[in-house]
Structures are given as structure tokens and as C-alpha cells.
Structure 1
Amino acid sequence: MAKDLSKINKKLAEAAGSINPTDEQMAQFAKMVSKYKNKSLEEIEAEINQMMSNFSRAQKDDFIQKLQMLKQMQGLLDRNQMKKVDLFIRLLSQ
């Protein structure tokens, strides 16, 4: 897992430029990717809709920013995972 986190950290640093994520943020990214890896878009949408009622606008914006950084990491996500990230962003932006 530590090796994976260092790869993710390197890719994030390349993609994000001046943004310096903490180890905790990188762990959150890895956890998020793992949690939703095998879920269908319908399952994800239902879960997000349920969670969104508890998020403040600031929390949604923070999550959207993290998801956008995740999308920028070339080679980290496959096509299906990118669709799921796009779905997250779309739902959180509402």
C-alpha cells in the first residue's frame, strides 16, 4: 500500500503542480478509489444522493476539487473509474 501511495503522490504532484497534498489526503484518494472501484453508476448515484443531504456547500466544493485533481492523474484511473468520478462531480455540483 505504501508503494501505491508513493506512486499516487508522485502522479498527483505532477498533475497538480503547486498543490502539495498531505499523506492524509493521498490516503483519502486511495480509499475513495478502492471504495467505488467495483460499484455500478446506479449504486454510486444512489449513495451520493443519500450523502449529499449531509454536506455543506464548502464540503461539496472541497470534494469536487479533490475529484478534479484525481481526474488529472494520468494512468491512475481506467475509463470506467473516470466515468464514476465525472458522475461524482456532476452530482456534487448540483
Structure 2
Amino acid sequence: MLSSMLSTLSTTSTLSTTSVVTTFASVGVAEVSVIGVVCLILLLAASEILSASKYWNRRLSTMINMAILPMLVAFAGIVVFRIVEILR
């Protein structure tokens, strides 16, 4: 069970990285930043809404948190990039 979850996580991570690189190649950083922030907001809202519903369980919580964590890292990267851009 654990090995299949790790395999799925690895595949998802690889696909996400590939799609992000492709997106950066065809779209500017500003557009990708907006998309990333909107996705983070939607995931956080879904987490809050679902946590109050009867469908909330530990597995759903883990799945949403696994999606939110990389988006938070990307958001931190966006903030750092913008600060560096302003200071130059």
C-alpha cells in the first residue's frame, strides 16, 4: 500500500514539474504566478469547506494537504521573486 502511494506521489510530482516547466516556456512568469496563487486560494477554500462537511476524513485531509504544501512553496518562491525584482 505504501509503495503504491509513493509511486503515485512520484508520478504526480513528475507530471506537475513537467507541466510547470512547459507552462513557463509558453507563458510569462506573471501569468503563472497568478494561476498558482488562484490554485492555492481554491485549495485552501476547499480544505476549509470540506472540513466542515460530513465527507471530511483523514484520507481527504492528507490528499488536500499534499496538494497545498507544494503550492505554499511555490507561493513563497513567487514572493521572493517579486521582492528581488522590486529591489533590483
TM value normalised by structure 2: 0.48
- Give the structure with higher Rg (CA): 2
Task: Answer 1 or 2: which has greater helix percent.
Answer: 2
Tell me: higher relative CO, structure 1 or 2? Use CA pairs within 8 A at least 6 residues apart: 1
